[in-house]
Each structure stands twice: as C-alpha cells, then as structure tokens.
A and B are shown apart, each in its own frame.
Chain A
Amino acid sequence: MRLRRIGIAVTLLLASAGCGVAGGETPSVSGKDRLVIGVSKDQPGLGFRDGYGTYKGFDIDVARDIARRLGAKHLTFKPLASAEREGALRDGDVDMVVASYSITPQRKTQVVFGGPYYVAHQDILVRGTDTTVRNVRDLRGKRLCQVTGSVSWRRVTEERKIDARLLPASTYGECLDDLTSGTVDAISTDDLILAGFAAQRGNQVRFVNAPFSDEKYGVGLRSGDIGGCEDVNKAITEMYQDGTAATLLKRWFGSTGLNVTTTVPQFEGCG
C-alpha cells in the first residue's frame, strides 16, 4: 500500500516535471517529428493488422496522409480497443486517434475532434439466411452484439429505445465470429465497417442497407490541442481538394457497392 502511494507520488512528480518542460501548455500534434497514432486492428477496410504486422485500411491511409501534411516524418501505429481511446489520448500514450472514432457530444467533453474526415452511417449485418430484419426496429427481441466502448449499441437500445438483448464482445471481429456461429443475431455499427465484413464473409452474412444515423469519424486529439485540431482540419480540406480522399475511398470501398461521399464534410470546429 505504502509502496503504491510512493509510486503515485513519483508519477505525479514526473508528470508535473513533464508539464514544466512543455511550458504548461498542451503538447500539439502540429510540427511534431514523430507521431503515435491510435488505430483499430480488426476492422477490414478501415483499420486492420495483417499477418506480417502491417496496418492497412482507409483509416490508416487517412492517418498517414494527415500526418504527412502536418509535417510528421516517423509514424507509429498503436492498436486501441474502442473503450481505450479517450484514456490513451488523455494519458499521452497516443498523439492522435484515427479509428472509426465517432464524434459524439459526450466524447467532446473529453477529447478534441479534428474533422470529421468522413461521415458514415450506422447499419445492420445479419446472417445470410436471416430475412426477418429489414430495419432497426426489427431488432426488437434479437440478440445484438455489444462492443464495449462503442456507441453503436447505444444508438439502438438507448437512442431508438429498441428492446434488443445485448451480448458483450470486445471487438467487432469477435462479433462477426459470434454472428456466423449463431451466438448473436445481429451486428449493428457503421456501414464502412460492415461493408468490409460483408466482403470478407461472402453470403454467410447479409448487409441490411437501412441506415439510421450519421456517424462523424473524427481525428481524436488531446483535449486543448486547438492549434493541432485546426491544422488537422486544414489537412483534411486539402485531402479532399486534391482528390486524395476520393482515391482512398475508391481503393477501400469501391468494390463494396457503398455510395461514398467525396466532398469535404462539415467540420465540428475546434474551439
């Protein structure tokens, strides 16, 4: 117990010393040579780690592009589960999060969001043989996969007040296995994620195509990094203006049949 207290005291001391070095201001992602970027590792098409440990996907390419425009030269990707994102930013484990991270009013009280760099829509994935689910209301009484730290299940049971049975999982990859094995009846999250899964599993699963929300994918930054957020927005504007965004969307989702938007989204604003 005593040791732990000493540990806490030392940590606080180190933390305050760190603040002293930075002049008490929030360290910004702008002008940093090295950036650690929090990403997802199990979302095909968005952010996933392949067998060789390489990160791939739309989010990864967007993160690279933004980082390049911010002037960073060395990037490190760090896999984060949905529930870890705010904490990782707050503790300084990552400088920035690009991981299908929806901007919500609640999260805005904890982190600053650059972007959105894309607006996705929540939809539903069921087993290929299931014809009973046509829209979100049909999830009443069904077993729905609940990923800790994700807002998607809330949109169904809390926002839309649909009485689905929630079965917890830690990642959407796990949900997909549960869906095909029959442990859950439906996965509901963003169309970009589901499109990737659908492409992976063929007619084992069915994409319902009844969107019921706007999910603004933001670039999560440490609370207070206003300058960094403004620079991220500038980078995203350029990414759309020079056609990079359209190319990336086509590369990752061109074959899914999803109707993607190639004009710059309305930003959330940094202040």
Chain B
Amino acid sequence: MTITTTPPSSPARRGRVPGRLRIRTMPGRIRALAALAAVAVLVVLLVTTLTVRDARDGLRVIGHDAGPQVVATGDLYFALSDMDAQLADALLIGGDAGLASRRAAALRLYEQRRSEANGALLQGSRLAGSDPTGQRTAQAMLDALGRYERLAGQALLTDQQSNHAAGPPPAAVTALYRQATDLMKLDVLPKAYNLTLDNGTKVRRTYEAKRSAVLQGRVWVILTGLLLLVVLVGVQFYLARRFRRLVNPFLALATAGTLVLVVVSVALLSSEAGRLRTAKEDGFDSVLALSRARAISNSAHADESRYLLDPGRADTYEQVYLDKSQTIMYVPAGNLDAYYTQVDQKIGGTDFLGFYGTEAHHITLPGQQEALHKVLTGYQKVQANDRTIRRLATAGGGRAAISAKLGAGTDDFGDYDKALVSLTDLHGGAFDKAISAGDHGLRGWNLILPGAAVVLIILILAGVRPRLSEYR
C-alpha cells in the first residue's frame, strides 16, 4: 500500500517538474489504485457518518431535549397562572355562605397547582444541571414563588377575617392581592413563558441548521459515492486490460456493495430529513403555539376574575383581556363588544389570525379538523360567557356576575381547556411518532457504516491480491 515515487537514480527525472509523482512499476501502480479506492471508501464513510451524526443531533435536541422542555415549561406556566386564578376566585367569594363549597374547591385546586408548580421548578433546577443561567432563573423563580405564597396566605387570612359577601373584598385584602398578583404577573410568569420561547428558539435553530446539514450531506454522500464507484470501475477496467481477464469478482462485489450502501444511505438521510420536518412542522410548531395559547387563555380567564375582584384596576384588566384574546384569535376589533361579534361571525371559517389562525391554516393530521372545531366552539362559549359576565357586572348585578363566572363561566372554560389539551396531544402524538421513527431509522448505523467500510476495503484488497502475487 505504498506509493512509490520516482527513484532518485532515474535518468527520467531530469527535465521533469520536481516532486511530481511517478509510479514506475506495475505492482506499484496496482497498490496505488487499491490505496486510492480504500481512501475513497474512507471518505464515503466519513461523509456519511458526519451526516448521520447531524441527523442524530437534530433528533436529540428537537425530540429529547428542547422539544419536551417546551411541554414541561408550558405546564409550569399553567400551574403558576392557575394558582393566581384560584386565589382570585377564593377572594372574590369571601365569606359568602351560598358559595362556600366553591371557595373550598378553589382552595383545593390552588394547593394542587402549588404542588405541581413547586415540583416542576425543583425538577427544572435539576434539569438545568450546570447551566448557570438556567439555574439562576429556576432559583429566582423558586424564591419569588415563596414570596408569592406568603402574600397569598396573608390575603386569604385577611379575607377570611373580613367575612365579606361575594364581590370585591375590603381594601386591605385587595392591597395584599395586588402585591401577590403583581409578583406573579411581573416576575414569575414572564420567566416561565420566556423559558418556553427559549426552547422554541432552540428547536427552530437546530431544525434549520441540522435539516439543511442533512440535505447537504446527502449531496456529498452521492458525490463521494460516485467517486468511489468511478475508482472501482476504473480499477476493474485497468486490471481487465492489463491482465486480460474478464471480471474481477471481488471488485465487482465491492462496486455492487458501494452502490447498495450509497442508495441505502441516501434513502435513510432523505427519510430522516423528512421525519425532522414532520416532527417540527406538524408536531412541534403546533405544540408550541397551542401551549402558548393555553398559557395565555388561562391568564385571560384569570383577568376576568380580577376584573370582578378589583374595580380599581378593572379597566386595565379588561384591556389586557382583549389584548390576550386577540393574541389567541385575532379578528379586527377595537373593543370587546366588536370582538365578541367578530368571533361569532368568523369562528366557522378560517378568516382569522393569531394562534388559532395559524392552526386553522395548517391542517395536516387526521382528526385535527374535528379537534380544532371543538376548541373553537369552546372558545366561542368562553367569550359568550365573558360578555354575559361583563354585562351583568356593569349593570350593577355584581352577585349575578360572580355566579355566572363561577358557574357556566368556569365549567365552559374547563371544557375549552380540555379540548385544547387534546388538540395539543394530537400534535404531540405526531411529534413523538416522527421522533421515534427517526431514532429507529438511525439505530445500528454506528456499526453498519464502519462495518460496511471494512468489508469494502477487504473486498478491494482481495480483488488486487492475486494480481500482485503474479509479481512475486
């Protein structure tokens, strides 16, 4: 396997470009050709391995790292936001005897969400591992949550002592609740939401980089594979002419093997790129958008409670409610009344933007249309209830508004949230399926590729060995 350079004694050296390779002997030429073929095999191996690794990295980040983190941080946001929503409901009911069981239910749910949020945060800080920014964020959130719980406890206690009828509590309670809800809204929730967005960014960037790397790598696999085929066929011809033999069976086998390897590799890379695409576009993008829609829906629902709870800030709570509603489903409307009307008119079609607009314009999965329909009708009901609640509240029927809020308002919101979760799960299923198909497709390629390279090199050596032995 050595390349013989021109012997220094050779007279032919004079007048030639210095350093130019010149192989004089026949065995030397055969060895050189075999070496060239072996190097070509190694190049194909290297290019294919690197491209397979890109596909594997893409699947790891999207499927096993940032992708699932989006779901986890989305759940964290939901638990935190719902804590504050349940607290608002409990304070709104106060000492009202007729609604005492609803208050107890709200407090139970508050406890449940609190433990879910704490669990998720503890897990989050463990998951952050040695990443200092992630750890700092998780730590800051735990601290702020501790302060929140203290304020919430004080608010509940003061509220209990005041024993007020259903409706806005005394000023002392409102002041404590404002501190608590501000802490949640300004400090804790943004961090959770931004974590979800960060993971979304990570997935998007990984997807774009890795998918284009796989597609480019595929071209290189084809090119280097063709090069190897040309070399193998060339060696075959050279030997056939020089030694007057028909076909060298080992080299023919190596050629066929190369062809199979390249075709199978290219097919694999194409399907891996396709699976990354399916996982991202039919699964992940929707899971991210719908997780955000769920987070914002829940906080808008809580703004409805706060609107009834704190008349001093009712205007702001109404404005952010409209703003959040338009983020979820955008129809052009300058105020809430116009918004309700537009929602009623447009909910049957697809003439709207926002998270649900994106979802409605990208129907790719079986059952998605039906699941989305349930979400949209649920959303319409939630908005209809909101209209009733605000109408009752502004007409002076505070008690009636609270009953509507805690009755149909809460039940219908629960149904809407369930429909939203099952639509998200539908996309989550498509995501998991694409990722596990991708993982499955790559299984064993760490062994297959070097194994194939060894076999090809052995075949090449076996092919040239009998010819070399003729010179011994």
- Please give the residue numbers on chain A whose beta carbons come within 8 Å of chain B beta carbons, in ascending order: 104-106, 108-109, 119, 121, 135-136, 154-155, 158-161, 211-214, 226-227, 230, 233, 237, 241, 261, 263-267, 269-271
The answer on a CB contact under 8 Å between B193 and A266 is yes
A104, B327: Cα distance in complex, Å: 9
Chief secondary structure at chain A's binding surface: loop
The answer on a CB contact under 8 Å between B194 and A159 is no
A233, B353: Cα distance in complex, Å: 23
A119, B334: Cα distance in complex, Å: 20
Contact of A214 among B189, B200, B205, B323 (CB under 8 A): B323
Task: Give the interface centre of B187, B315, B335 by most chain A CB atoms within 10 Å.
Answer: B315
Contact of A264 among B191, B200, B204 (CB under 8 A): B191
A233, B197: Cα distance in complex, Å: 10
In the complex, chain B residues whose CB is within 8 Å of the CB of A241: 133, 136
Task: Give the interface centre of A159, A213, A241, A266 by most chain B CB atoms within 10 Å.
Answer: A266
In the complex, chain B residues whose CB is within 8 Å of the CB of A213: 315-316, 319-320
In the complex, chain B residues whose CB is within 8 Å of the CB of A161: 335
A263, B285: Cα distance in complex, Å: 28
Question: What is the interface size of chain B, counting residues whose CB is below 8 A from a CB of the partner?
Answer: 33
Contact of B332 among A106, A136, A237, A270 (CB under 8 A): A106
One digit per residue, 1 when the CB lies within 8 angstroms of any chain A CB and 0 when it does not, for chain B 202-222 equals 001100000000000000000
B190 at the interface (CB under 8 A from A): yes
Contact of B316 among A106, A154, A214 (CB under 8 A): A214
Contact of A212 among B190, B316, B353 (CB under 8 A): B316
In the complex, chain B residues whose CB is within 8 Å of the CB of A227: 205
The answer on a CB contact under 8 Å between B330 and A155 is no
**Distance from A150 Cβ to chain B, minimum over Cβ atoms (Å):** 14
Contacts A161-B335, A233-B197, A271-B204 known; 19 new A-B pairs at CB < 8 A: A105-B326, A106-B332, A109-B353, A136-B315, A159-B319, A159-B336, A213-B316, A230-B204, A230-B205, A263-B187, A263-B190, A263-B191, A266-B190, A267-B190, A267-B194, A270-B197, A271-B200, A271-B285, A271-B288
Contact of B354 among A105, A121, A135, A266 (CB under 8 A): A105
**Distance from B160 Cβ to chain A, minimum over Cβ atoms (Å):** 29
A213, B334: Cα distance in complex, Å: 14
In the complex, chain A residues whose CB is within 8 Å of the CB of B289: 271
B390 at the interface (CB under 8 A from A): no
One digit per residue, 1 when the CB lies within 8 angstroms of any chain A CB and 0 when it does not, for chain B 302-343 equals 000000000000011001101100110010101110000000
Count how many pairs of residues, one from A and one from B, have CB atoms less than 8 Å apart in the complex.
Answer: 77
A136, B201: Cα distance in complex, Å: 40
Task: Give the interface centre of A105, A160, A212 by most chain B CB atoms within 10 Å.
Answer: A105
In the complex, chain B residues whose CB is within 8 Å of the CB of A214: 316, 319-320, 323
The answer on a CB contact under 8 Å between A211 and B193 is no
Contact of A105 among B194, B285, B327 (CB under 8 A): B327
- Please give the residue numbers on chain B whose beta carbons come within 8 Å of chain A beta carbons, in ascending order: 133, 136, 186-187, 189-191, 193-194, 197, 200-201, 204-205, 285, 288-289, 292, 315-316, 319-320, 322-323, 326-327, 330, 332, 334-336, 353-354
The contact sample of 16 A-B pairs, CB cut-off 8 A, is A105-B327, A109-B330, A109-B353, A160-B315, A161-B335, A212-B315, A212-B319, A214-B316, A214-B320, A214-B323, A230-B204, A261-B186, A264-B191, A266-B194, A267-B190, A267-B197
Given the known interface contacts A264-B190, A264-B194, the answer about A155 and B319 at a Cβ–Cβ threshold of 8 Å is yes
Given the known interface contacts A213-B315, A214-B319, the answer about A159 and B193 at a Cβ–Cβ threshold of 8 Å is no
Given the known interface contacts A214-B323, A271-B200, the answer about A266 and B316 at a Cβ–Cβ threshold of 8 Å is no
Please give me the 10 A-B residue pairs with the lowest Cβ-Cβ distance, nearest first. A266-B190, A105-B326, A212-B315, A158-B334, A213-B319, A263-B187, A230-B201, A266-B193, A159-B335, A105-B330
**Distance from B325 Cβ to chain A, minimum over Cβ atoms (Å):** 9
**Distance from B278 Cβ to chain A, minimum over Cβ atoms (Å):** 18
Contact of A265 among B190, B201, B288 (CB under 8 A): B190
A109, B186: Cα distance in complex, Å: 26
- Nearest CB to that of A212 among chain B residues? B315
In the complex, chain A residues whose CB is within 8 Å of the CB of B186: 119, 261, 263, 265
The answer on a CB contact under 8 Å between B323 and A237 is no
A51, B190: Cα distance in complex, Å: 39
- Nearest CB to that of A263 among chain B residues? B187
**Distance from B297 Cβ to chain A, minimum over Cβ atoms (Å):** 15
A160, B314: Cα distance in complex, Å: 11
In the complex, chain B residues whose CB is within 8 Å of the CB of A155: 319
In the complex, chain B residues whose CB is within 8 Å of the CB of A263: 186-187, 190-191
**Distance from B447 Cβ to chain A, minimum over Cβ atoms (Å):** 38
A6, B133: Cα distance in complex, Å: 56
A263, B189: Cα distance in complex, Å: 11
- Nearest CB to that of A161 among chain B residues? B335
